[in-house]
Amino acid sequence: MCGITGIWDFSKQKSIPQLKSKTKEMADALSHRGPDGADTWIDPKSHLALGHRRLSIIDLSNAASQPMVSSSGRFVITYNGEIYNYRSLRDTLTQSGLTLKTQSDTEVILEMCAHFGIEATLQKLIGMFAFCLWDIVSKKLFLVRDRLGIKPLYWGMQNNIFAFGSELQSLKPTPHWKFNIDNEAVGGYFLKGYVPAPQSIYQHIFKLEPGHLLVVDQEKNIRKKAYWSVENSIQPAKKQVPTDQLISDFDTLITDAVQKKIGIRCANWLFSIWWH
């Protein structure tokens, strides 16, 4: 578990040192999610800053710290999660001629997005994740949440300032933001026992829905789209499949999922023993 956060000050009212200080404060609010390290990254021309709190799991070296810049220098990522098939995706990248500097799944996501595009990459990721990708060239910011919404991600735009974070408390330091309770969301909480997405408990602050991609550009346009849904992933059968075949296929899928999960956990455990 890590913590991610960031701020895009379209108003440019804050100086770059002030922006960096605010982003650090936002990231520090997530220190319980990432006690092993913290850093910020600034794009001074756009008045955009990304923050990260790190829980070291896969690659414990400083080379795997975040926010991380792509080998091309065009993209920057701050990421929370675990990608179970990152080793096979890593092989895809190395076969394409890319030399990776770390053993982290962070770098794999970053370079996959840089080489194949973010939407194509999302179709290949197996795991739980929430991340922000900043394109320095196109001046676009991308927020992504995993298919089932295992990893949290909140966002909002108030007074020409866009901000996001893994938890609501990381957004509290955002300058010129108001945190007024959303009465409709409170009603939803008492009805269902939780605040349904895309609402949060505060007005004008939202939860990114599971399986969604959100894009913000330099004109302050915000676009959101679903890159995955249960409905679209279930294809109607074109022919009658024997029950034995269905059971066999289901067993294969379950076995593959468990092996991916256990495999990466064992690899992480062995790596941590070797490292220490």
Among all residues, which ones are annotated catalytic? 2
For the sheet containing 68-69, what is the strand order?
A: 68-69, 75-83, 127-135, 140-145, 212-216, 222-226
Tokens standing for 109? 């996501």
How far apart, in whole angstroms, are the C-alpha atoms of residue 69 and residue 202?
33
How far apart, in whole angstroms, are the C-alpha atoms of residue 224 and residue 237?
30
Q: Classify residue 238 by its DSSP letter.
A: S
Any idea how long the chain is? 276
Summarize the chain as % helix, strand, coil (round to 5): 35, 25, 40
Backbone φ and ψ for 24, nearest 5 degrees, come out as -65, -40
Sequence-ordered strand ranges (E) for 55-183: 68-69, 75-83, 127-135, 140-145, 154-158, 161-165
Bond prior to 173 in cis (omega within 30° of 0): no
Q: Are 7 and 162 in contact (CB under 8 A)?
A: yes
How large is the angle between the packed helices 243-275 and 86-95, nearest 10 degrees?
A: 80
Sequence-ordered strand ranges (E) for the chain: 3-9, 37-43, 48-54, 68-69, 75-83, 127-135, 140-145, 154-158, 161-165, 205-207, 212-216, 222-226
